[in-house]
Structure 1
């Protein structure tokens, strides 16, 4: 079953769904690219690991104030001081560091083993302050200083977008195709909720035929295979919420399809 929306499905951005979407979309990209790039290139799934801190794990969780319940005494009935009973423990949450993994793709030349192109699909942890963003920004800068091409896919409305000079262009979603030979210039595919996800090329070495990715088709495959149509309750508002104008548009679309 194809996705309910013509472009990015905002319900897939929900933290309950996005880790699975991220994993499956990377798998579909590999499945699509690998046969087209053989025998000169191989496509490999790589994993970036980092330790999160409290700011990553407790976003949106209020501070917990621990108070000791004390038994009051009536000073009018006795001149003897009465000690308060021992404080009883209460359960609180602490920011325990956690090792997180994030997958991405690398296209390597078979003969030299050199990384020709890195393909990244951003996650929420990359777009908010913390170790996840620091780790990705460090990797991003390393790529920009190398001969490696970068494809950066941002299908998340929330969080802080990765920096680039866009002459004031703003959009809800972005795909950045950055060729090492053209830096500091790059191709930005900017689109919004109501737009179909644009197709884009995968940059390779000069002279090689570049496959064109239909990310919309791949995302629809993920939606269908994983059965998100049976897991998403379209009667509810998506998380994160839509703007007022987008919410009105989405409501009309969902009602037209009998989902509300």
Structure 2
């Protein structure tokens, strides 16, 4: 059985496999909603493109260089009284370059009226850094001025959070935000700790229809069951940034060691 070793969100997905997981999760959420919503609604996958300034798809490389002397060159330079030695760099990093990437969101529509009822955004690194964050915030503000509900799922520990006022967010690596069109500017917030399962959250529809529950943990487990991400993730490597608190880091290491998983295979 394909399953993540973590009880909630798998923090190792926040890396090179994020884009693939994002698409799979959006597809699974759409499938779950189509099974539970009244027949007057349809859940559609909506693809749009944005510029990723985060460099999240680029791996950082550290490399020590050893410079061997060129004896021929030294012999030629013997006649020179003084010469300079060029220092070799001890660290090599990568500069993030803007990259256009597709993002999938879920739109719930009223079939008869072709009315947009709810938008579900699964935040990507492109939504949480620099100009990408600013562009997303502008689109978000425009949507909040309509009668469309907005459900935002932030399963990324790194990057900026959506702009909110009226209080501080409780410390947590993951959040779910719900802005109901009839309760704005109020936003419902679900903070999720690293060691917790993701909650079932309400997906609002049109009155008089009740909210539809969306079991986020079940959606993630279905993605693992379908693809088997635990076979692709390298649990022997350090977690992608940001660095965890010491107690959480110990917990993560205990999970991977207890399960005996490295590169999706049991340690021997």
Q: TM-score, normalised by structure 2?
A: 0.78
Please give the secondary structure, in 2, of the residue aligned with 1:181: coil
Q: Distance in 2 between matches of 1:57 and 1:10?
A: 16
Give the alignment of 1:1-260 within 5 angstroms: 1=1, 2-13=3-14, 15-51=15-51, 98-130=99-131, 132-165=132-165, 167-168=167-168, 169-240=170-241, 241-259=243-261
Please give the secondary structure, in 2, of the residue aligned with 1:256: helix
Q: Distance in 2 between matches of 1:20 and 1:49?
A: 15
Counterpart of 1:65 in structure 2 is none
How far 1:238 moved relative to its partner?
A: 1.6
Q: Deviations over 1:214-243 (max 9, x none)?
A: 110110111221111211222222212433
Please give the secondary structure, in 1, of the residue aligned with 2:130: coil
Is this contact kept in 1: 2:53–2:129, CA < 8 A? no
Q: 1:176 to 1:96 in 2, by over 3 A?
A: closer
Aligned residues: CA RMSD: 2.8
How far 1:209 moved relative to its partner?
A: 2.5
Q: 1:252 to 1:125 in 2, by over 3 A?
A: same
Q: Distance in 1 between matches of 2:238 and 2:59?
A: 21
Please give the secondary structure, in 2, of the residue aligned with 1:180: coil
How far 1:42 moved relative to its partner?
A: 1.0
Q: 1:10 to 1:230 in 2, by over 3 A?
A: same
Q: Deviations over 1:62-105 (max 9, x none)?
A: xxxxxxxxx9x98x99xxxxxxxxxxxxxxx9987643221101
Q: Deviations over 1:183-202 (max 9, x none)?
A: 11121000110111111010
Q: TM-score, normalised by structure 1?
A: 0.80
Q: Distance in 2 between matches of 1:52 and 1:39?
A: 37
Q: Distance in 2 between matches of 1:10 and 1:59?
A: 17
Q: Distance in 2 between matches of 1:181 and 1:156?
A: 28
Q: Deviations over 1:135-183 (max 9, x none)?
A: 3212210111110000000000001111113622221100011101011
Unpaired runs of 5+ residues, structure 2, are 62-72, 81-93, 262-266
Q: Deviations over 1:84-138 (max 9, x none)?
A: xxxxxxxxx99876432211011011121111100000001111112x2233212
How far 1:51 moved relative to its partner?
A: 4.4
Unpaired runs of 5+ residues, structure 1, are 62-70, 78-92
Out of 198-207 and 241-250, give the one that drifted further: 241-250
Q: 1:47 to 1:253 in 2, by over 3 A?
A: same
